[in-house]
Structure 1
Amino acid sequence: MVYILVTERTPLLLKSGFVRLKGNLKLRRKKDSNAFGVRHVQALLMFFGMAFGYFLRVNISAAIVPMTKPRTTGDEYYDWDSSTKSLILSSFFWGYVVAQVPAGLLAKRFGGKLVLGIATVLASIITMLHPWAASGGSWQVICFLRVLIGLTQGVLYPSVHTLLAKWAPRTERSFLATSVYSGAQFGTVIILATSGFIFDSSMGWPGIFYISGAVALAWSILFLVFGADSPKDSKVISKQEREYIEHLTGSGSESKSLPVPWKSLFTSAPFYGLIAAQTGFTWGFYTLLTEIPTYMDSVLKLNVASNALLSALPYFVMWLLCLIVSPISDMLINRNILSTTVGRKLFNTIGQWIPMACLIGMSYMTSEESVAAITLLTIGVGFNAAAFCGYLVNHMDLSPNFAGPMMSISNGFGNLLSLFAPLVVGAVVVNEEEPSEWRIVFYITAGVYLVCNALFIIFGQATIQSWNDPMNLPTNTKSQTIERIGEDTEATITKSE
């Protein structure tokens, strides 16, 4: 039996994740003395960045109801039909999709901190212009601003993924990444739950744009001051924690200068499986996110105050489950109960096929069964959290050095298709009070979940690909992928030949 203690002097080949060894490979991780460190502070900053980013994109979904349906005499409102509202809701994705690949390249070149911070400043200012743009019922100007919001928010996922690839050790990847991305649900909960109170205030519906813009602006300034692109860029991190993170990420310090292996990406079956999984999740998530307020108001006959709180409930449950499911995923993988690949596929299946079943059941509910409909909706959206331990961290599994550009491609493609989701609703749902028309929408979404997750099961993998390595070394059947390597990790190799 041979023990290998991985230290700072370990060759790059070993640290990058590939080593030619015969026999069985077992890993035993020593206790990390940095139970809470700078990486967790950075994760917290990114968490709030996700939350306030979703303030900027979800506010229109909450505001569209009072903007088009007066609550009291004298309220300012606009007579926009269902197709116009769907057009407004989908216009965000036009800019969002276009920004993805450029955002990934910018984050890789200049770092996620600068790109995300500046983009959020711009998005915040544009958001606070929405009430002015809507004056006089000019939905075309609103659509234009939503496109601009999409362009600025398009940097969010590629930038955060670029940052996480540097900050999230493999042994904590599910927990840290899921915790950060759960900020999306946290932000959605807050903005939807408080929207009714904002609408009832003296500010009315314009208040939701003023408040969300101001909060996001404050965060962006804080992030530009205290954020860091990587452990080596932090001025407060200890040497022990820095080495621990760098050895366990698999992302080289020279990754900014590495050319993106486009040919390898677009000929990689696991990457296509990942794209399919992200497309399925994104279609379902945004269909529900943009249409739940209207569905509750028109079909379930819930008033605006109840609508706001109940619209937030599914995302609150999703946020809680993110924090529960992710450590379970890490535990199962770290203890070798599941391989990383099996774990990613299992949790992605839970995160897409349980919502699929719930949507089918909810499609048969009417206003007399509103409690059952809300229950199914909450379960369905809530269990979406499991997919965060599936497709969402898979970019870093496949290639830590190019996680940002990979996210820009998969997120761009997923949202390119998903921008049609609100348009499909606008085409199918002519009478918003007719449950049978909403049933068609829910069946379409369930079908997307079914097919996309099946493709991930067939083609998905969770091992570092050969094109991630700076030396571009090929893998072979005798190569072993070391999934957890660090200064405090021992690799135990037991010969079995």
Structure 2
Amino acid sequence: MFSECHGDDTTSHPTAATIAGRIKRGSVQIQQAGIKASGRIGTRAMMAFLVMWAMVLQGLVQHSATVTLMALSDPLSSEDFAEYVANTSYVTRYCRPLNESLEAEASEEEPPRDEEDYEDDALLADNDTAHSGHHTRHIVAEPDLKVPLSEEDSIDSIMREAFLWGSFLSPLPASFLAAKIGPKRVMGGGILGAGALVAFVPFAWFTAYHMLIRVAQGILIGATWPALHMLGASWYPSLQRTGFVCYYSAVSVGYAAVGLVGTRVVQLVGRDWLCYVLTVLTVLWFLAWYQMVHDCPADHPRLSAEQRQRLLIAVGPGLASRQAVPPVPWKRLMLSGPVWACSLANLGSQWGQATLHLAVTKYLKLVYGFSLTYDRILSVLPHLGHFMAAILFGMVVDHARANDIVSTTTSRKFLVYLSHFPVGAILFIVGYSGCDPSAPAALFTAAVVISGATAAGTYASAIDVAPNYAGYVFGLSQTLGAAGSLAGSYVIAEGLHGSLPGSWRLVFGVAALVLAVTAMLFMAIGSGSAQPWNSLPLPESPDEPLVPAVTVEVTLDLDRETPGAEEEQDTMGEQERAENEKNDEQRVEVKEVEVTLTEQELTGSKTGLV
């Protein structure tokens, strides 16, 4: 009996070796499933899906601290909050119904009158109502200057700025690192590191250590942006890159998800569990990313020879192999007008986004009584609309460019115009939207949705001007973008709680001005064409891949044989000689096609060559 019981105990409690074996078999099965899925779905489609998943994780990580803080510090129910708004909202206190306001003013300022005067007033009131229609409220006083800043708001501001400082420091160094070790590793390491750090947050909630974790997360997340641009330039032809870049906007889906689902998780099972869930999701993403994504088509082991050849032709051999990129021409890059136009447009865009998500949301809560904690529509709909608009803009722009409806430069300038001027105008108007609470809520939603054009305009321009150095250009652009977010946050803090308290219109006006100025600079000197310093030189050794450049030697002497070619061919077998002759014929055909191209077409991109 003892042996039987002992045997049952052994089967019910597997040894460490058994567990390790199961984990290993499970890992192999996951890898095999990933290989099959990658083959059936398509390499680039799988990479696009994983990029969107990564951006959702970015949004979750970035806003997890804010959601946790607000979920635990706001014990009011929806009914209690409605009562709180009725008693404290600026609109409730300063926007009175027109009849009540007139009665109050009359009782305070005017002496007693006889019945005839009241009859005349009634006639005048009827006449005014007939002309005014449904507008029966008006502002009778300016809101209080002092905008309340709770302890939770102060902690949230510190944590958010710590993250922004990290994202300001890392993009440019990360572009060097991605060029050295590959964008796949930088992207994977950045997301995995940021997600893994979330697991340590339960031991450091809202302490100095938590702030250090936020800085580190900002550094790791900021490093992913230039790596993504390098992957896009290596895997996608010019006429398809806009769609890929628009996948970055999935970060707004992360904002919506953490606000909608994260709040419930914190309230039901505690704030620590939100951190553990994020860490698990990040690890699962990393396993898929490491298995299915590669730096360029030349490095992908599961691409067929035909698929690899098509990508080499469409993207360009230099980009598709990442072996022929020369040293960065820093002087020309830093003196390039289109590069600075793209970077400054990104600064303006992120300044505007900071104002929308920090100042306008606070304005809706304190002035009009909205709370994104309770209003699911305002906390989810604008972010989902932003992502859907970005995808739509990317599809439309790539289609228009592929069919020669508009040039790349024209499309980029139009999208920058769309993502800056209307958003700036809305920000300016919000400060004068009056007592109707539906107006600023609708304007806020419209501004967030329209700003979805940023990815197809500003972000994509960083690849257009220098595909071979897209990581460096976008690293500079994101550095200035993070600076714009920090500057916008500082102006909001000073304009609402600091030296200029309660200056709502000033905060909105400054953001509108920054958006307008940066957009005008892009309209003046921005470009969607590859710059001359982006061109790759011819390879110096026969082992290097062909690059898309044509010189006088290539164009005028196509039939010249390589020295020693006859001796080399004599030593070949029959099969190798036939194969070599076939490859020579293909090279001649490619060269003859390239000879007919103009210099502008070679640096442009209808053939995918850059």
User: TM-score normalised to the size of structure 1?
Assistant: 0.81
Residue 227 (structure 1) aligned to one of 270, 289, 293: 293
Mean CA deviation greater in 478-487 or 279-288: 478-487
Matches of 1:237 and 1:168 in 2, distance apart?
15
By percentage of residues, which structure has more helix?
Answer: 2
Residue 87 (structure 1) aligned to one of 110, 133, 158: 158
Aligned residues: 439
Q: Partner letter of residue 605 of structure 2?
A: R
Q: Comparing both chains, which one has the higher relative contact order based on Cα–Cα distances under 8 Å and sequence gaps of 6 or more?
A: 1
| Residue equivalent to 1:54 | 59
Secondary structure of the 1:258 match is coil
| Residue equivalent to 1:289 | 357
| 1:357–1:255 CA distance, 2 compared to 1 (3 A) | farther
Please state if 1:484 is matched with 2:605.
yes
Report the Cα offset of residue 375 of structure 1: 1.3
| Residue equivalent to 1:268 | 336
| 1:407–1:35 CA distance, 2 compared to 1 (3 A) | farther
Deviations 1:255-280 (CA, angstroms, capped at 9, x unpaired): 57521111111111111111111111
Report the Cα offset of residue 376 of structure 1: 0.9
| Residue equivalent to 1:355 | 423
Matches of 1:301 and 1:328 in 2, distance apart?
38
| 1:381–1:260 CA distance, 2 compared to 1 (3 A) | same
Matches of 2:264 and 2:367 in 1, distance apart?
22
Please state if 1:147 is matched with 2:227.
no
| Residue equivalent to 2:83 | none
- For structure 2, the residue ranges without an aligned partner over 5 or more in a row are 1-38, 78-148, 539-548, 552-597
| Residue equivalent to 1:39 | 44
Secondary structure of the 2:600 match is strand
Deviations 1:464-490 (CA, angstroms, capped at 9, x unpaired): 112112219899xx7323443449x9x
| 1:381–1:79 CA distance, 2 compared to 1 (3 A) | closer
Mean CA deviation greater in 62-71 or 228-237: 62-71
Contact map agreement 1:109 1:257 (CA 8 A) in 2: no
Contact map agreement 1:83 1:426 (CA 8 A) in 2: no
Matches of 1:59 and 1:99 in 2, distance apart?
21
Contact map agreement 1:128 1:209 (CA 8 A) in 2: yes
Secondary structure of the 2:328 match is coil
Deviations 1:407-443 (CA, angstroms, capped at 9, x unpaired): 1111112212322322222222129xx9x53333222
Matches of 1:208 and 1:300 in 2, distance apart?
31
Query: How well do the aligned residues superpose, as a CA RMSD in angstroms?
Result: 2.9
| Residue equivalent to 1:443 | 509
Report the Cα offset of residue 230 of structure 1: 1.0
Contact map agreement 2:240 2:398 (CA 8 A) in 1: yes
**What does 1:331-480 correspond to in 2, within 5 Å?**
331-365=399-433, 369-430=436-497, 437-471=503-537, 479-480=599-600
Higher Rg of the two aligned structures: 2
Q: Partner letter of residue 363 of structure 1?
A: G
Contact map agreement 1:399 1:464 (CA 8 A) in 2: yes
Q: Partner letter of residue 406 of structure 2?
A: L
Contact map agreement 1:163 1:229 (CA 8 A) in 2: yes
Q: Give the fraction of aligned pairs with identical amino acids, expressed as a percent.
A: 24
Deviations 1:342-391 (CA, angstroms, capped at 9, x unpaired): 1100011111112112222222347x633322211111011111122111
**What does 1:102-181 correspond to in 2, within 5 Å?**
102-134=173-205, 138=207, 140-178=208-246, 180-181=247-248
- For structure 1, the residue ranges without an aligned partner over 5 or more in a row are 1-33, 73-77, 490-497
| Residue equivalent to 1:13 | none
Contact map agreement 2:231 2:295 (CA 8 A) in 1: yes
| Residue equivalent to 1:20 | none
| Residue equivalent to 1:216 | 282
| Residue equivalent to 1:29 | none
Report the Cα offset of residue 143 of structure 1: 2.0
Deviations 1:83-139 (CA, angstroms, capped at 9, x unpaired): 5432221111111111111111111111111112122222112123223212xx53x
| 1:191–1:311 CA distance, 2 compared to 1 (3 A) | same
Matches of 1:128 and 1:82 in 2, distance apart?
23
Matches of 1:57 and 1:256 in 2, distance apart?
36
Please state if 1:66 is matched with 2:71.
yes
Q: Partner letter of residue 114 of structure 1?
A: R
Secondary structure of the 1:43 match is helix
Matches of 1:430 and 1:286 in 2, distance apart?
16
Q: Partner letter of residue 390 of structure 1?
A: G
Report the Cα offset of residue 319 of structure 1: 0.8
Report the Cα offset of residue 286 of structure 1: 3.1
Matches of 2:439 and 2:361 in 1, distance apart?
17
Matches of 1:309 and 1:199 in 2, distance apart?
20
| Residue equivalent to 1:27 | none
| 1:424–1:64 CA distance, 2 compared to 1 (3 A) | farther
Contact map agreement 1:53 1:216 (CA 8 A) in 2: no
Matches of 2:40 and 2:521 in 1, distance apart?
37
| Residue equivalent to 2:9 | none
Matches of 1:173 and 1:255 in 2, distance apart?
21
| 1:418–1:474 CA distance, 2 compared to 1 (3 A) | farther
**What does 1:4-15 correspond to in 2, within 5 Å?**
none
| Residue equivalent to 1:31 | none
User: TM-score normalised to the size of structure 2?
Assistant: 0.67
Matches of 2:234 and 2:325 in 1, distance apart?
15
Matches of 2:352 and 2:197 in 1, distance apart?
27
